[in-house]
Chain A
Amino acid sequence: MIAAAWVVFLKELRDALRDRRTLTMVLISSVAIGPLVLVVISQLVASIEKRNEAREVYAVGIEYVPGLKNFLERQTFTVKAAPADWEQRLRDSKLGYPVVVVPADYAAAAARGEVPVVELVSSATDQRAEGGSGAVMRLLRAYNQEQASLRLAMRGVAPMALETLRVDERDLADPASRAAQLAFMVPFFVLMAVLYGALNAALDTTAGERERGSLEPLLMNPASRLALVLGKWGAVATVGMLIAVLSCLSFLPAQLLLRSEALSAMFRFGPGEAVWFIALLLPLAGALAAMLMAIAIRCKTFKEAQANATVLVLVISMLPLVLVLNQDGAAPWHLWVPALAQTTLMGRVLKGEVPPMADLLPPVLVCAVLTVVAVLYVSRVLRSAALK
């Protein structure tokens, strides 16, 4: 039986690798896209970092409040004049920072004892300006606080009287945690690579074989059905793994292109991590191959199988999202769900952790059971599938 399975395996592998057009599409969609997205996001993060480092405030009419300008400069900010068409550029989401607008009658209003109004203008459509307006708002409040304290001090009131508590803000969304968010993408893309790599081969060896009318003659060979299915399954899983390996390797050079220094410091994906990823994905590739075949063997045509497989593809691609949506963090049951378990473990590997054996066992076990059940199912329905 082993010999027959091996013959089938070699033939199916050769057949799948000759399907150049499909392979090219899979390579483009699952191997190239991941690193590309990584590089694009790193550029975005780099630009945010650059802006944070710049410490600039853009203003119109700052000359009417010399005190504010002085205050900002004391906070080591540079005050810059906003460009003439700043309003239009904010609307078009092109400016990238909020603008402080000081009215010309600021000094006069203050002298009359009125409260002059300073505008902080940003636009909800300009994400970057909106993001930066919080920091500028805090600067303006601090200036207000300082002025008020000075006035109280002049009247002999301790500024402490107005201060019942002090708030210290710390932003935890530093580049490190952004890198963690980014790193989450890598397992996701690698997982998709396994799925899309296995998809076409799985459908071709089952529904495709039915559609071509080559399944019936195949079953007239003395080889046992289980041997035929095992050979096919091995080839499908191998193609899936091959694409996954390529996808893993493609992230290695992509790192060199990372623009953000903080990111590239945080994003550790070396050959060691790649090997871990491949080892973690191996059982999943087997299970996915078997499940896709089990779905497709029931379908008369490749097209029908594609439509049916969409359900599995969708579920597998949605499962890792549980990690993003679930606010409670990692739960023990995550390790018992295929795809989710692999994503969780790959995430932990990326954080530099070596998952203990106890955490590796559940996903391997689940995948093994799924594989055995699906392979046996395919070999059971193979004959009736050939005749319909």
Chain B
Amino acid sequence: MIQIEQLRKRFTQGSGRQKRTVQAVDGVDFLATNGRITGLLGPNGAGKTTTLRIAAALIEPDSGHVRVDGIDVAKQPSAALARMGVLSDARGLYPRLTARENIVYYGRLHGMTAAAAAARADVLAKTLDMQALLDRRTEGFSQGERMKTALARALVHNPPNIVLDEPTNGLDVLATRALRDTLRRLRDDEGKCIVFSTHIMQEVERLCDHVVVVAQGRTVAAGTVAELSAATQQTDFEETFVKLAFPATFSSGVPAAGATA
């Protein structure tokens, strides 16, 4: 379970006269429960990546809290990270190591023994259908192969919570479908709490049990796809999203943004 409460983060860019501040996150708030795929939907620059980076203890928030299974990330980052598998926007692999070595390395960093990490790599390879890749060096892997390896690496310690930042970026249709299947299986078979950020409507519609719409750094709406569509009186989810995320550019008479949040 990942609980995000009133998260705020301001960045300062440049220095001297060119100094300017950007309020990247300005009140993101949501709850991702176990056995559910929570989609973090928002336009580019809405603060999704910053929110997830705060959740992964990479950035400290100005205010607000992130709790992973009740553990405050800011106070006990190591304990929180041990219960989380994060697939960030950056998914660099070590090109001179094989896929298995990449996965085992992270397992070892999570405190697993070499044997346990290797065994886990085999299990994950089966889950992600990448047995053929395991003992190849990752140099020259395709985007889909890289994503699978990076995902296996993030899941090596079998975390109850999984955070994915735009995981389908750069993937083709088949790889995207394979990823969706994997995430569903992780939810249904193992009851994982999955948080997954994206700006693509179809993905949310097809996959997410719960949607959190983020715009301009804050949560503007939350609910199932059906609930959000009903609230905005739309049948098309894209229209729903635009209405929720960009209320100013849309015609008036729409229920106030955040009404369902």
Contacts and interface: CB of A to CB of B under 8 A. Distances in A.
Given A387-B53, A387-B59, A221 B92 contact: no
Interface in A1-46: 3-4, 7-8, 11, 14-15, 18-19
A214 interface: yes
Interface of B: 53, 56-59, 77-79, 81-82, 84, 86-97, 101, 105-106, 108-111, 150, 153-154
A8 B106 CA distance: 10
A220 B58 contact: yes
Question: Which range holds the interface residue count of chain A?
Answer: 20 to 34
A383 B57 CA distance: 10
Given A15-B94, A209-B92, A221-B110, 16 more contacts: A7-B108, A212-B94, A213-B90, A213-B92, A216-B88, A216-B89, A217-B92, A218-B109, A220-B57, A220-B81, A220-B84, A220-B154, A222-B79, A222-B109, A387-B53, A387-B58
B81 A217 contact: no
B97 A11 contact: yes
Nearest to B150: A217
A72 interface: no
A220 B93 contact: no
B140 to A, nearest CB: 14
Contacts of B153: 217
A224 B78 contact: yes
Given A217-B86, A217-B153, A387-B53, A212 B105 contact: no
A117 B154 CA distance: 92
B93 A212 contact: yes
Nearest to A228: B109
B110 A222 contact: yes
Most buried by B among A3, A213, A221: A221
Given A217-B88, A220-B86, A224-B78, A7 B109 contact: yes
A221 B153 CA distance: 11
Contacts of B90: 213-217, 386
A386 B97 contact: no
A216 B87 CA distance: 10
Interface string A207-240: 0010011111111111110000000000000000
Most buried by B among A3, A19, A223, A386: A223
A275 B108 CA distance: 35
A221 B94 contact: no
Contact of A222 (B58, B78, B150): B78
Interface string A372-384: 0000000000010
Most buried by A among B86, B97, B108, B111: B108
B92 A212 contact: yes
Contacts of B88: 216-217, 220
A15 to B, nearest CB: 5
Contacts of B96: 15, 18-19
Contacts of A387: 53, 58-59
Contacts of B82: 222
Contacts of A212: 92-95
Contacts of A217: 86-88, 90-92, 106, 150, 153-154
Given A216-B58, A217-B88, A220-B56, A3 B111 contact: yes
A8 B109 contact: yes
A145 to B, nearest CB: 75
Nearest to A16: B96
B81 A221 contact: yes
Contacts of A219: 58
25 contacts: A7-B105, A7-B108, A11-B94, A11-B105, A15-B97, A18-B96, A18-B97, A209-B92, A212-B94, A213-B90, A213-B92, A214-B92, A215-B90, A217-B88, A217-B154, A220-B57, A220-B81, A220-B84, A220-B86, A221-B106, A222-B81, A222-B110, A223-B109, A387-B53, A387-B59
Nearest to A20: B96
B155 to A, nearest CB: 12
Contacts of A383: 58
A15 B88 CA distance: 23
Contacts of B84: 220
A11 B78 CA distance: 21
A223 B111 CA distance: 9
Contacts of B53: 387
A299 B140 CA distance: 25
B42 to A, nearest CB: 19
Contacts of B92: 209, 212-217
Contact of B94 (A4, A214, A224): A214
In the A-B complex, the 5 residue pairs with the closest CB atoms: A214-B92, A213-B92, A213-B90, A212-B92, A222-B78
Contacts of A214: 90, 92-94
B109 A213 contact: no
B142 to A, nearest CB: 16
